[in-house]
Amino acid sequence: MLQFIVDVLIRTSDIMLVAVGLSVVYSLVKFPNIAHVQYAMLGAFGTLALNRTGLPFSLALIGACIATGVVAVLLNVLVFKRLLRSGSSIAMIGSLAISMILIAVVLGIAGSRPFRYSSGLSSPITLGSTIISVDQITSIACGFGCVALLAVLLFKTGVGRSMRAMSSNPALAAATGVDGARVVNGITFLSGALAALGGTMLGLTESVHVGLGTNLLLPVFAAAILGGLGNPLGAAAGALLISVSETLVTNLDFGWLFGTTDVYVPVTYISAASFVILLVALLFRPYGIFDREVRRV
Amino acid sequence: MKFAKELCISAVASALLSIATASAAQTVSLGAVLPLTGASASVGDDQRRGIELAVEQVNAHNGVLGQKLQVVVEDSGGNAATALSSARKLVSVNKVPVVLGEFSSGITIPVGEYVVQQGDVHINIGSSSPAIRKIGEGSFSVIGLDDLSARFAAGDVFAQSLKDVAFIAPNNSYGQGVASEFKKRFESLGGKVSSVVLYSEGQSTYRRELQQMSRSSPQAYVYSAYGQEAATINREAYELGLSKKKWYGIYLTMCTSDTVPQAAQGQEGLEVASIGAGGKTYEQAYREKYKEAPKSSFGSYAYDGVMVAAAAINKAGAADPAKIRAAMKTVVPYNGATGTIAFDDAGQRKEQPYDKVKFDTKVVAR
Amino acid sequence: MYSFLLHVATLSCIYALFGLALNLQAGFAGLLNFGFVAFAGVGAYASAITSSHGYPAPIGILFGVVAAMVVGFFMARLGRNLASDYWAIATLAVAELIRTVALNENWLTGGAQGISGVPALFRSASGVQNDPAFFLLALAMVAIALFACVRLSRGRFGRAIRLMREEPALATSLGYQLVPLKVKATVTSAAIASVGGSLLAHYMSFVGPDYMLASETFVIWTMVMIGGLGNNFGVVLGALLVEAIYSAVPFAKDYLNISSDIAGAVRLGTIGVVLLGCLLVRPGGLLPEKIRSAT
């Protein structure tokens, strides 16, 4: 049981931060930004690069998050705002183009092989009947800690209130004195930084490679959509739900059906499980599970 | 307008290239499709070095048919579609009569089938799935197939009183072949394979696969995996505490080529024997040129592949694929870096020597 | 060299088929389908599976078309309730699902190995695939598809789906039922894509689950956007252009002696930059959609 919880937590922290970052910015930009997962990849490589120049890991991480946040803001101002004028579908395709360019740049500089932050191994710690490594604990703590901080920011501070106001009704927010441009840039920066943090954590527990972002694309979007695009805490819940379903599917022993022991669903069907959940959820709740908006029929 | 410009550039490029190819008529060109990028890039690099060494060796001894030998190396990208495009380019643009490659059985089979369909000669230098036999007339293997390796591995593991094992290999024709052969042999000896997991290539984590395997509480883990994926598997096995049990790797240098030494310490396995009669010469030449020991045994198979092809072309008297096919059958037995190479009726290597090895900061003999 | 150019031309024709199909769905009907490659993949696998059981190629193509139409039907019904952004991701999920099944079910699809040795459609005397004949077939298919798409887009159906794209409320008020229209557009598009997929299977003599990676859909989208969304001739041009760039890169690699990783990066980066440039400067594509005047 403990192993199950640990597995769920590990998987959740893999995708949670990036999904929350995506959701936070969605209500502002109104198009699914496919390049968002590449920010995670950029962040992971950024931390790697800074770490290699001699900075300790935590400083490198902060540096990479800031840098990625800035990149996100720049791309939003220079590219996506212009593309949005032609419609959200053009913007979505544009984000596809940006993804390709980001991958190409990293591929050209770093190559296609995977990297690790440190050349040593992370020693396993035994907690009761389960085993977990230091890296995984770091990732889980970071992930959940940041989401908690974000919740505090959004719901308990003035800045957060402005952000939520901009997200739900930009015109009205501007009318009440919220500085639109600054808040938008702030939210974009935040989403980029969150993605970079999530990417670095994933690079810590798995490895840093150029396909990191692409592998995250579907799970992150599934989590964000399940929670309702624009609902950051919903995205965290969505990540948890997906993680639970994936872990459940591969841990259940179906041996009793066949009269033997140790019959499991092949691991490659894991992602299929989360997509089926997503599709089924969308059939019944087209705007996400936590959707409370009233729409005209 | 833009399109016309693109067309001009492509036309100019192709014209330049045809001039370049025409002036290369003084050389005999062979082709090779290798995994220069992707999970097996370390082995692909070693294979490329083996080929380079062979080309130098051949050209130092009068070349082929009195002309210089050249091997055009293309990247397979670690997947069949890219490999097929590379093979296509080699066959139709570079017009090579022989194509060597690849490393992964899942790629060697489609490439081999395409090459022999086009009438050229295919030489398998790295794959060992029994399914290689079905490529057909015109395909030859200088490396032994897995019915031989699985038998060796099963015997070796059983002899150590390990009777209940879990098995993991990649989900492609190599992995499927070696898994089923091993299970067959091991169970016929009286052992039990309590769990067989075929992992999907290219994932960045294999934690769940390892957890599924560990649930059956085996005495030992038998595995075979490509360089970078094996590194992930070994690392995660260490993190899950699974490396405390015995790990046995089939083709251990491939399995540990990218792994952190600490994670693989104490593993045992088998390896294709790379030191045959001519092996010492190969190792010396490798050390001299690349300033390090051979990274894997697969470089020497690539070396032997080129040497056998050159010998066959010399015997055939012309760089004509049909004549080379006939000559390949008569140029053996050949004494290569990997021992004596002889082909059976299907063009596959008759005997394959294996070494018992273990990992002690690197792969050494047991 | 001639045969390599023929190779590029043949691939361009196959991708042009994909482009025309996607254009029908996305360009005219405005349905953002990111799981498009599933249609092509289903067609390719159907051809490979039926021919490995010994049936002649046309049966395989027909089978593929039917299967792809079923998938298209399912996708369109899924979109009944969903906003377009959500539907785009949902189609991506469906394609991934199909790819995962193809990856795992060895007995049906050969698993990660795929199915190799798919017979060539035209064999010359020595048993080698007859490339020029295949090229002519592909060209003929493109011509037929182009003709069909142009006729469809000029006819009532084309007008209806364009109206649905621009003003769905108006379309409903005029009596058009949106969901059947969406279904028809998706299913037709699936059929054309499936034929392209079958051709690809026979041409490459190999089918694998990698054909259905999400990145493949993105390549087709790139061709359509660069060529001109909503313009049939535009997407054919786009397919030719992108395929030319893709194929020129390995030669540049040989010529400039750069490593494979860099070559891959250059190829991807060039496509990305060209696409972005097109979107910023000329969002309609090289040959934008022709809006007919009222008179």
User: Distances in Å between the alpha carbon of B5 and those of B38, B117, C4, C249, C279?
Assistant: 34, 37, 20, 16, 20
Does the pLDDT at position B12 exceed 60? Answer: no
Contacts of C25 (CB under 8 A, 6+ apart): C31, C33, C36, C185, C186, C189
Q: Is B75 on the interface with C (CB under 8 A)?
A: yes
Among C7, C106, C206, the residue with its CB nearest the CB of B110 is C206
CA–CA gap between residue B86 and residue B76 (Å, rounded):
7
Within B134-277, residue ranges assigned H as helices are 146-159, 173-189, 207-214, 227-239, 252-256, 261-264
Q: At what angle do helices C57-78 and A270-284 cross, to 10 degrees?
A: 50
Measured distance between the N- and C-terminal CA atoms of chain B, rounded to whole angstroms: 68
pLDDT tens digits, one per residue of C61-100: 999 999 999 999 988 887 776 777 778 888 888 888 898 8
Beta bridge partners of A75: none
Are A10 and A25 in contact by the 8 Å Cβ rule? The answer is: no
Chain A positions touching chain C (beta carbons under 8 Å) = 31-32, 79, 82-83, 86, 88-90, 92-94, 96-101, 103-105, 107-108, 111-112, 214, 217-218, 221-222, 225, 229, 266, 268-269, 271-272, 275-276, 278-279, 282-283, 286-287
Query: How many other C-beta atoms can be found within 10 angstroms of the C-beta atom of residue C92?
Result: 25
Kindly compute the dihedral angle of the four CA atoms of residues B344, B347, B352, B358, in this order, to the nearest 10 degrees.
-160
CA–CA gap between residue A209 and residue A116 (Å, rounded):
9
Provide the mean pLDDT of chain B. 83
pLDDT tens digits, one per residue of A121-178: 777 888 777 888 888 888 889 889 998 998 888 888 888 888 888 877 878 888 888 8
Q: Looking at the complex, report in whole angstroms how far the Cα of residue B354 sits from the nearest Cα belonging to chain A.
A: 30
B139 and B259 belong to one structural domain: no
CA–CA gap between residue C273 and residue C255 (Å, rounded):
22
Q: Span C115-125, mean pLDDT? A: 67
Q: What is the pLDDT of residue C253?
A: 67
Chain C residue with minimal CA distance to B135? C117
Give the distance from CA B93 to its chain's centroid: 25
CA–CA gap between residue B125 and residue B253 (Å, rounded):
16
pLDDT tens digits, one per residue of C27-49: 888 888 888 899 999 999 998 88
B216 and B93 belong to one structural domain: no
Which residue of B1, B3, B129, B199 to mutate against C (max C Cβ within 10 Å)?
B3
Which residue of A267, A270, A271 to mutate against B (max B Cβ within 10 Å)?
A267
Q: Looking at the complex, report in whole angstroms how far the Cα of residue C137 sits from the nearest Cα belonging to chain A.
A: 32
Are B77 and B83 in contact by the 8 Å Cβ rule? The answer is: yes
B62 and B160 belong to one structural domain: no
pTM value is: 0.82
Q: Is C280 on the interface with A (CB under 8 A)?
A: yes
Task: Tell me the HSE value of B316 on the side-chain side, using a 13 A CA sphere.
Answer: 22
pLDDT tens digits, one per residue of A176-214: 888 778 888 888 999 999 999 999 999 988 888 888 888
Phi, psi dihedrals of residue B140, rounded to the nearest 5°: -125, 150
Give the distance from CA B348 to its chain's centroid: 14
Q: Span B55-77, mean pLDDT? A: 88
Does the pLDDT at position B8 exceed 70? Answer: no
Q: What is the pLDDT of residue C137?
A: 86
Beta bridge partners of B358: B268, B364
Angle at A199 between CA A193 and CA A203, to 5 degrees: 145
B34 and B59 belong to one structural domain: yes
Higher per-residue confidence, B146 vs B269: B269
pLDDT tens digits, one per residue of A227-266: 877 788 888 999 998 888 888 887 777 767 776 666 777 7
B205 and B346 belong to one structural domain: no
Mode of pairing for the β-strands spanning B27-34 and B68-75: parallel
Q: What is the pLDDT of residue B19?
A: 46
Q: What is the pLDDT of residue B274?
A: 61
Confidence band, pLDDT 50/70/90 cuts, at residue A44? very high
CB contact under 8 A, B118 and C128: yes
CA–CA gap between residue B121 and residue B107 (Å, rounded):
16
pLDDT tens digits, one per residue of C236-278: 888 988 888 877 776 776 677 666 667 778 878 888 888 888 8
Which residue of C260, C262, C267 to mutate against B (max B Cβ within 10 Å)?
C260
User: Which pair of structure tokens corresponds to residue A61?
Assistant: 């991480």
Give the distance from CA A238 to its chain's centroid: 11
Contacts of C226 (CB under 8 A, 6+ apart): C238, C241, C242, C274, C275, C278, C285, C286
Task: Tell me the HSE value of A169 on the side-chain side, using a 13 A CA sphere.
Answer: 6
Does the pLDDT at position A117 exceed 80? Answer: yes
Judging contacts by C-beta atoms under 8 Å, the chain C residues touching residue A41 are none
Which residue of C32, C36, C74, C86 to mutate against A (max A Cβ within 10 Å)?
C86
CATH of the domain at B344: 3.40.50.2300
CA–CA gap between residue A176 and residue A186 (Å, rounded):
18
CB contact under 8 A, B13 and C255: yes
Q: Looking at the complex, report in whole angstroms how far the Cα of residue B117 sits from the nearest Cα belonging to chain C.
A: 6
Are B240 and B207 in contact by the 8 Å Cβ rule? The answer is: yes
Q: What is the pLDDT of residue C96?
A: 86
CA–CA gap between residue C25 and residue C36 (Å, rounded):
10
B46 and B188 belong to one structural domain: no
User: Is ipTM beyond 0.85?
Assistant: no
CA–CA gap between residue B184 and residue B61 (Å, rounded):
47
B135 and B11 belong to one structural domain: yes
B230 and B359 belong to one structural domain: yes
Which of C272, C269, C6, C247 has its CA nearest to residue B13?
Answer: C247
Measured distance between the N- and C-terminal CA atoms of chain A, rounded to whole angstroms: 45
The one-letter amino acid code at B268 reads E
Q: Span C108-113, mean pLDDT? A: 74
CB contact under 8 A, C89 and A286: no
pLDDT tens digits, one per residue of C150-171: 888 888 888 888 888 888 888 8
Provide the mean pLDDT of chain C. 82
B99 and B139 belong to one structural domain: yes
Q: What is the pLDDT of residue A102?
A: 93
Q: Span C96-106, mean pLDDT? A: 84
Q: Which segments of chain B are extended strands (E)?
A: 27-34, 68-75, 98-100, 121-124, 139-141, 164-170, 192-199, 220-223, 246-250, 268-272, 334-336, 339-341, 354-359, 363-365
Contacts of C56 (CB under 8 A, 6+ apart): none
CA–CA gap between residue C239 and residue C14 (Å, rounded):
9
Q: What is the pLDDT of residue A41?
A: 95
CA–CA gap between residue A80 and residue B252 (Å, rounded):
50
Q: What is the pLDDT of residue C127?
A: 45
Q: Looking at the complex, report in whole angstroms how far the Cα of residue A178 sits from the nearest Cα belonging to chain C.
A: 28
The tally of domains found in chain B comes to 2
Among B21, B80, B200, the residue with its CB nearest the CB of C114 is B80
Q: Span B258-273, mean pLDDT? A: 86
In chain A, where are the structural domains located?
Answer: 2-209
Q: Which helix (H) or strand (E) holds C119?
A: none
Does the pLDDT at position B13 exceed 70? Answer: no
Does the pLDDT at position B24 exceed 70? Answer: no
Lowest mean pLDDT, pick from A75-89, B13-27, B115-129, C98-112 = B13-27
Are B153 and B169 in contact by the 8 Å Cβ rule? The answer is: no
Range of the structural domain that residue B281 is part of: 2-145+276-352
Q: Is C85 on the interface with A (CB under 8 A)?
A: yes
User: Which pair of structure tokens corresponds to residue B168?
Assistant: 């993991």
Judging contacts by C-beta atoms under 8 Å, the chain C residues touching residue B36 are 259-260
DSSP letters for B147-181: HHHHHHHHHHHHHTT--EEEEEEESSHHHHHHHHH
Chain A residue with minimal CA distance to C221? A93
Kindly compute the dihedral angle of the four CA atoms of residues C33, C39, C40, C46, in this order, to the nearest 10 degrees.
170
Phi, psi dihedrals of residue C221, rounded to the nearest 5°: -60, -40
B79 and B36 belong to one structural domain: yes
Confidence band, pLDDT 50/70/90 cuts, at residue B259? confident
Contacts of A211 (CB under 8 A, 6+ apart): B202, B204
CB contact under 8 A, B216 and A261: yes
Lowest mean pLDDT, pick from A245-259, B286-300, C138-152 = A245-259
Chains that touch B (3 or more CB pairs under 8 A): A, C
Q: Is B118 on the interface with C (CB under 8 A)?
A: yes
B51 and B130 belong to one structural domain: yes
Upstream peptide bond of A56 is cis (omega within 30 degrees of 0): no
CB contact under 8 A, C204 and B84: yes
Query: How many other C-beta atoms can be found within 10 angstroms of the C-beta atom of residue B59?
Result: 16
CB contact under 8 A, B171 and A119: no
Does the pLDDT at position C18 exceed 60? Answer: yes
CA–CA gap between residue B23 and residue B18 (Å, rounded):
9
Judging contacts by C-beta atoms under 8 Å, the chain A residues touching residue C94 are 275, 279
B133 and B151 belong to one structural domain: no
Q: Looking at the complex, report in whole angstroms how far the Cα of residue A278 sits from the nearest Cα belonging to chain C.
A: 8
Does the pLDDT at position A224 exceed 90? Answer: no
Chain B positions touching chain A (beta carbons under 8 Å) = 37-38, 41, 171, 194-195, 197-200, 202, 204-205, 207-209, 211-212, 215-216, 228, 231-232, 235, 238-241, 260, 262-263
Q: What is the pLDDT of residue B162?
A: 87
Measured distance between the N- and C-terminal CA atoms of chain C, rounded to whole angstroms: 50
**Residue C166 CB-density burial (10 A; 0-12 exposed, 13-18 middle, 19+ buried):** exposed
Judging contacts by C-beta atoms under 8 Å, the chain C residues touching residue B2 are 241, 286
β-sheet with B121-124: strand ranges across: B68-75, B27-34, B98-100, B121-124, B139-141
Q: What is the pLDDT of residue A184?
A: 86
Beta bridge partners of B168: B197, B223
Q: What is the pLDDT of residue B6?
A: 42
The most confident of B13-22, B58-67, C251-260, by mean pLDDT? B58-67
Q: How many residues make up chain A in this entry? A: 297
Which residue of B164, B171, B212, B215 to mutate against A (max A Cβ within 10 Å)?
B212
User: Distances in Å between the alpha carbon of A222 and those of A238, B193, B221, C86?
Assistant: 8, 37, 35, 10
